């Protein structure tokens, strides 16, 4: 009998980790015996976040593969060879950031004049859907609101429209 697969989902920051945890809860039945570790970096450049994944998780445990969820407001310049050697897949949230994906799924886009910077996407999502501007409240409020904002029915529909969402779910084999 083969051992269960051990995988890692690693977000650029805590917001990404909250959403990744939500997705694994939605699809826990399909995950079967797969063991999933979810963790997060502390922002920074894509290479810094990838290095944190290696130091904080991959060098400590035994994992079969990992997926790194990054915002795409800073192009990632991580060499493909390096990613392959470390068994790291990368998914970029679009447009701009995870909050951009959220707003797109919720059909609540910012005005065109505000779409060029991730800070506008983030502010709009935080104000309109989490009802807060305080950074200290965002993670807790997102944790509470994920099930109602992003139910499985919505995720199942939206995965076909958003390559980053589709890649995350495909990584989970769902």
Q: Where are the domains of the chain?
A: 6-97+150-171
Over residues 29-74, the pLDDT tens digits come to 999 999 999 999 987 888 889 989 998 888 888 889 999 999 988 8
pTM of the model: 0.94
Please state, in angstroms and rounded to a whole number, the distance separating the CA atoms of residues 46 and 75.
Answer: 8
Q: Is 93 helix (H, G, I), strand (E, B) or coil?
A: strand
Q: What is the mean pLDDT of the chain?
A: 92
The C-alpha angle with vertex 105 and arms to 96 and 143, in degrees rounded to 5, equals 85
Over residues 155-167, the pLDDT tens digits come to 999 999 999 999 9
CATH 3.30.1450: does it fit domain 6-97+150-171? no
């Amino acid at each position: 009998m083969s051992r269960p697969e051990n995988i890692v989902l690693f977000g650029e920051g805590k917001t990404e980790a909250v959403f990744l945890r939500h997705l694994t809860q939605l699809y826990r039945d399909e995950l079967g015996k797969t063991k999933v570790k979810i963790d997060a970096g502390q922002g920074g450049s894509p290479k810094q976040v990838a290095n944190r994944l290696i130091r904080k998780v991959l060098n400590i445990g035994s994992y079969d593969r990992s997926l790194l969820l990054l915002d795409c407001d800073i192009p990632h310049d991580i060499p493909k060879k390096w990613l392959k050697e470390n068994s790291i897949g990368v998914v970029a949230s679009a447009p701009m950031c995870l909050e951009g994906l959220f707003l797109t799924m919720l059909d609540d886009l910012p005005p065109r004049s505000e779409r060029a910077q991730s800070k506008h996407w983030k502010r709009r999502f935080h104000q309109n859907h989490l009802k807060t501007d305080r950074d200290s409240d965002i993670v807790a409020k997102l944790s509470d609101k994920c099930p109602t904002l992003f139910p499985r029915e919505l995720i199942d529909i939206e995965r076909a429209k958003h390559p980053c969402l589709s890649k995350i779910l495909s990584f989970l084999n769902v």
